[in-house]
Amino acid sequence: MELTDLIPEGWAGTLILVMVTLILGPWAIFSKQNAEKWWALGHFTKWVKNRKIREIEENSRLADATIKGHADDRARWIAQMEDLRTEMANDREQAARELTRATEESASYWAYIIFVSNERRELELMAIKYGWKPQPPKLMSFQEWRRENKR
């Protein structure tokens, strides 16, 4: 008895063959032995089975690239901050030098103002003491002048 004797003739036999082929066919085609026999099917089968692994690897590469990009950004920002700190330190030193110079300059102006004010007061006292006519105009002290000119 042969296998063909078991299959009924007519449309029922064809239907049974189609059903058996659809049910058992994919497992037979995609089995390990047939994958080795049929080169293209074997590669397609491996490609289908390994797609999740490839997707995970691709996501891992993207995550690594993103992390590297963030690390590069942080390194660049740190370098920029160091440059900015150096520049700001130079600016602070320059501002301190300018403030020192302005303070010394204003101290010399102040000393001159005090000198002129004292000389004028001496002149005024001498005019009162010796009765000079006309008396020299009264010169305000710096404090008096500052009070007058604050308004």
**Residue 107 corresponds to which amino acid?**
A
Q: Which residues contact 68 (CB under 8 A, 6 or more apart)?
A: none
In a domain, 27, yes or no: yes
Domain contains 101:
no
Q: Is residue 38 part of a domain?
A: yes
**Is 46:54 a contact under the CB 8 Å cutoff?**
no
Domain contains 58:
no
In a domain, 94, yes or no: no
Is residue 117 in some structural domain? no
**Residue 138 dihedral angles phi and psi, to the nearest 5°:** -70, 130
Domain boundaries, position 44: 8-49
User: How do residues 66-91 score in pLDDT, each as one tens digit?
Assistant: 999 999 999 999 999 999 999 999 99
Quick one: DSSP state of residue 150? -
Alpha-carbon span 41 to 47, nearest angstrom? 10
Give tens-digit pLDDT for 8-44.
666 676 777 677 666 655 655 555 565 555 556 566 6
CB 75 within 8 A of CB 82: no
Q: What is the pLDDT of residues 103-126, one digit of tens each?
A: 988 988 888 888 888 888 888 888
> pTM here?
0.40
Count of domains in the chain?
A: 1
Residue at 44 is within a domain:
yes
Cα separation, 43 vs 25, in Å, equals 18
Q: Which DSSP category does 131 fall into?
A: T
Q: Residue type for 44, please?
A: F
Does 25 reside within a domain?
yes
